[in-house]
Structure 1
């Protein structure tokens, strides 16, 4: 074999060996916009559920604090009654002690029948017993209130501990949001988007429902802001809360709680101002008639008008 052929063969063998030894590298294509959109939607749904859980805990803490304050308010006059009754019993006891046998002797020397004497001596005892019963009754009621207060304090302590955990969860939400906004920027060129305010004609709806509907139309274009209830931004339950608050009705800041507080209605009974629930009570929108709802969609988006079947509805509620 010629030297040239020997050299060529050695080069070929070396090339094959290098190919076997060198690590394989697979070029990964950047995710497409469709893939990024799918990831964004998944992440947004997860975050919205976390936010609604956070909102629910805040509402529960508010309710516990309100119940505790109401109980304290009702206990105040009871404590005054207990103190007054005890003071009266003390006065009667002091009077009985001071008068003692001298009072009895004087009563024996005074003119009058035996019946008068027994009546005079028994009055003090009867008054003392009556006040004693009052004190016992007040004490019983007070103990009941104190037991309720203790339960509320325990509940509030547990909820406050949960709130601290949620604060840690809040930081996690913010971190996850940062990633989500990066994904949105990669997919759409911007972390946020807005369609601008509504410029069309707002449908005429009478009564309180009309007030709520007009409020929602005027909120179109405002940014999604988790935990917010306006006027500069909203999350889903914050928008429905604010719309009906403008109409004089109170709703909790949580989709599940709003579902429980509203009356169940059928799809065929749906009217402007009713609430439409989605995602296993993870999302809520305000129905404005004509098969349309207004809702605060998700992170990075703004309040918008959408079709009622933008997702499969979970149920429908009428504000009472």
Structure 2
């Protein structure tokens, strides 16, 4: 074989080897800082929506527990009332048996005595009404008791189902958090930001809105903690809840439910203490004036003050 032919064959083999090896080299390439940041932002947004769903489920469990407690409180008196009614009906049955059932009625209708026939018929009608009222009372007491017990059983069944969902939701959040923290370690060298102390001074705002704003300023630098409403950590709706709780107002621990619980206002009407809701109602923040908000951003980060245009805004709410 000529030297030229050997050289050409060697070059062809080398080219094929390079083509086969190239994809493997690309696949092993580490993501760039920009790619890592993009992954972190996407994962953080998805995780926050899951956390808010988890919070909503928690709110549902709280409501069901309160409803179950109310139903339990109603059932006790209803049980006693049903038992009294049952005893009254039982007494009627015993009396009827001992007197032969219609003996009293016959005695009222038989001639003799000072009462006229209309008076006797009236007495008989009254006796019949009293007995029917006793029977009706027993029936109504039993119906109410059965109705409340049925409601309680349904409420407790919902609670059990929600508890299972809550456990599954927590498991998913913990798994997603582990992945997110790994991405943050790759990008920033640590899973979470170091907690810091707030150095910003709250503006002088009067009334309950001022109390809420000052609370939010005091939370700056504290870590995002899913499902938390302070004082050591917060998620987004947990921070707005805690700020307004300090001002004596009650909000549910869920961004979408806070949207329903607040009055709609326009952007031009925004005042410190109002809530800013973002697209999809997966995030909420507290407006503090000057186009700025304070919010608990996402897992791995701390509460901070920043421009309110962090993502598309869905609307604004004023705490009633």
What TM-score comes out, normalization by structure 2 length? 0.86
State how far apart, in whole Å, the 2-side matches of 1:80 and 1:160 are.
32
Distance 1:210-1:88 versus aligned 2 partners, 3 A rule: same
Alignment of 1:9-28 (within 5 A): 9=4, 12-22=7-17, 23-25=20-22, 27-28=25-26
SS in structure 1 of the partner of residue 204 of structure 2: coil
Q: Is the 8 A contact 1:96 1:124 kept in 2?
A: no
Are 1:139 and 2:142 an aligned pair? yes
Distance 1:121-1:305 versus aligned 2 partners, 3 A rule: same
Q: CA deviation at 1:104?
A: 7.4
What are the ranges of 5 or more consecutive residues in structure 2 without an aligned counterpart?
none
Q: Is the 8 A contact 1:264 1:318 kept in 2?
A: yes
State how far apart, in whole Å, the 2-side matches of 1:106 and 1:175 are.
83
State how far apart, in whole Å, the 2-side matches of 1:154 and 1:67 are.
12
State how far apart, in whole Å, the 2-side matches of 1:233 and 1:171 are.
20
Q: Is the 8 A contact 1:273 1:288 kept in 2?
A: yes
Per-residue deviation, residues 264-306 of structure 1 (Å, max 9, x unmatched): 1111111111111113100000111222111000111000011
Alignment of 1:231-310 (within 5 A): 231-310=231-310
Q: CA deviation at 1:153?
A: 4.2
Structure 2 residue aligned with 1:171: 171
- The Cα RMSD (Å) is 2.8
Structure 2 residue aligned with 1:180: 180
Larger deviation, residues 117-126 vs 209-218: 117-126
Q: CA deviation at 1:219?
A: 0.7
Structure 1 residue aligned with 2:211: 211
Q: Is the 8 A contact 2:195 2:222 kept in 1?
A: no
Distance 1:191-1:118 versus aligned 2 partners, 3 A rule: same
Q: Is the 8 A contact 2:220 2:302 kept in 1?
A: yes
What are the ranges of 5 or more consecutive residues in structure 1 without an aligned counterpart?
none
Q: Is the 8 A contact 1:88 1:131 kept in 2?
A: yes
Are 1:53 and 2:53 an aligned pair? yes
Are 1:130 and 2:133 an aligned pair? yes
State how far apart, in whole Å, the 1-side matches of 2:196 and 2:76 are.
53
Q: Is the 8 A contact 1:276 1:286 kept in 2?
A: yes
Are 1:30 and 2:30 an aligned pair? yes
Q: Is the 8 A contact 1:86 1:131 kept in 2?
A: no
What TM-score comes out, normalization by structure 1 length? 0.86
State how far apart, in whole Å, the 2-side matches of 1:50 and 1:258 are.
16
State how far apart, in whole Å, the 2-side matches of 1:135 and 1:216 are.
57
Q: CA deviation at 1:17?
A: 3.9
Q: Is the 8 A contact 1:92 1:124 kept in 2?
A: no
Q: Is the 8 A contact 2:48 2:282 kept in 1?
A: yes
State how far apart, in whole Å, the 1-side matches of 2:103 and 2:236 are.
80
State how far apart, in whole Å, the 1-side matches of 2:106 and 2:277 are.
84
Distance 1:254-1:76 versus aligned 2 partners, 3 A rule: same
